[in-house]
Amino acid sequence: MPADVAAAGPADAPVPTRVSPSAIEEPGWVRLLLIGTGLGFIVLFLVLPLVSVFAEAFRHGVAAYLEELHSEDTLAAIRLTLLVAAIAVPCNLVFGVAAAWAIAKFEFPGKSLLITFVDLPFSVSPVVAGLIYVLIFGAHGWLGPWLMEHDVQIIFAVPGIVLATIFVTFPFIARELIPLMQEQGTEEEEAAISLGASGWQTFWRVTLPNVKWALLYGVLLCNARAMGEFGAVSVVSGHIRGMTNTMPLQVEILYNEYNFIGAFAVASLLALLALVTLVLKSLLEWRYGHELAATRR
């Protein structure tokens, strides 16, 4: 092993006390090769697709871009997406907090099974997530005939879209809170209770401040997925223009009509949402990493 050759390589490498650097560091050319391969892969699979969204959207200039965004169906899609997220995220927020309180602060049999069930929606295909609600509420589903009789529409309407969205974003907030609250234990809450605080006071003044950044982190991821969900929503939506089209579905419809500027204009809004989510998420990890669950630090 030519130790002197490798030792002349990376100058910034920490020099170990007893062992020659060549033995615990890769030679300079290997490092360069690995960095080049890794970055090349990232650029090819992440950066280029992201850039191409905006390049395609602005292909015919800013005016054409803005005009596409002002079309009535697109505006309706944006409104529906905001509405669905505004219902689905709070539902899962309440669930996440309740589940984390029960699971992290108390001992009971079957706990790990319950945690597995909470994570279950992550391992189900989005299409299956839509399918299960069609099997229950669809025209030929379990409750379909009864719903038809009473003139209640769930599939091909907003309630179905909300249900499918709740399903695919189900675990996001709970899985941020459960490990963190388990780490934190129950001592602070017990102290508050023994000093005479009520249950709600303890929750608002002790528990919530302890988990607020993790809660925000979960809401952030939950919201990104809720606004961007495609597969599950597409199964239950029925693609009725101006009525049951969310933004991702609007991308598909415009794309299939060869209105590429329109499709990529809506896509660029969703890409922007993804970028904002990533920036906020990174900020939370850097600034408040110690207040997030151990897996996020």
Partner 1 sequence: MPARLSLQRAPSVLPGFGPTLGFTLVYLSLIVLIPLAALVLRPVELGFAGFVAAVTEPRVLAALRLSFGASLIAAAINAVFGLIVAWVLVRYRFPGKRLIDALVDLPFALPTAVAGVALTALYAPNGWIGGLLQPLGIEVAFTPLGVVVALVFIGLPFVVRTVQPVLQDIEREVEEAAASLGASRLQTMGRVILPAILPALLTGYALALARAVGEYGSVIFIAGNMPMVSEIAPLLIVIKLEQYDYAGAAAVGVAMLIIAFAMLLVLNVLQRWKHAR
According to CB under 8 A, which residues from 64 to 93 bind partner 1?
Answer: none
Say how far apart CA 115 and CA 103 lie, in whole Å: 8
**Residue closer to partner 1 (CB basis): 63 or 286:** 286
In the list 9, 157, 274, 288, the residue contacting partner 1 (rule: CB under 8 A) is 274
Q: Is 251 in the site for partner 1 (CB under 8 A)?
A: yes
Q: Which residues, at least 6 apart from 77, have a Cβ–Cβ distance to it below 8 Å?
A: 245, 246, 247, 249, 250, 266
Name which position in 74, 184, 202, 245 contacts partner 1 (CB under 8 A).
202
Is residue 227 part of the contact set for partner 1 (CB under 8 A)? yes
* 128, 157, 216, 261: which one binds partner 1 (CB under 8 A): 128
Using CB under 8 A as the binding rule, whether residue 176 contacts partner 1 is answered as no
Closest CB 194 distance from partner 1, rounded Å: 7
251 alpha-carbon distance from chain centroid: 19
Give the DSSP letter of residue 273.
H
Q: Does 288 bind partner 1 (CB under 8 A)?
A: no
Q: Smallest distance, Å, CB 9 to partner 1?
A: 12
Sole binder of partner 1 in the list 80, 85, 89, 267 (CB under 8 A)? 267
Query: Could you say which of 4, 11, 45, 151 contacts partner 1 (CB under 8 A)?
Result: 45
User: How far apart are the C-alpha atoms of 13 and 16, rounded to whole Å?
Assistant: 9
- What's the CA gap between 82 and 134, in Å, rounded? 23
Size of the site for partner 1 (CB under 8 A): 104
Decide if residue 210 touches partner 1 (CB under 8 A).
Answer: no
- 7 near partner 1 (CB under 8 A): no
| 244 part of the interface to partner 1, by CB under 8 A | no
Q: Are 237 and 259 in contact (CB under 8 A)?
A: no
Q: Closest distance between partner 1 and the C-beta of residue 21, in Å?
A: 9
**Residues numbered 136-175 forming contacts with partner 1, rule: CB under 8 A:** 136, 138-142, 163, 166-167, 170
Assess 112 for contact with partner 1 (CB under 8 A): no
DSSP 14: P
CA distance 241 to 232: 18
Segment lying near partner 1 (by CB under 8 A), choices 66-74, 145-153, 198-206, 209-217: 198-206
- The answer to whether residues 165 and 229 touch, using CB atoms and an 8 Å cutoff, is yes
The reply to whether 239 sits near partner 1 by the rule CB under 8 A is no
DSSP 127: H
Least gap, CB of 244 to partner 1 (angstroms): 15
Query: 247: burial class by Cβ within 10 Å (0-12, 13-18, 19+)?
Result: buried
- Give 197-238 as a DSSP string: --HHHHIIIIIHHHHHHHHHHHHHHHHHHHHH--HHHHHHH-
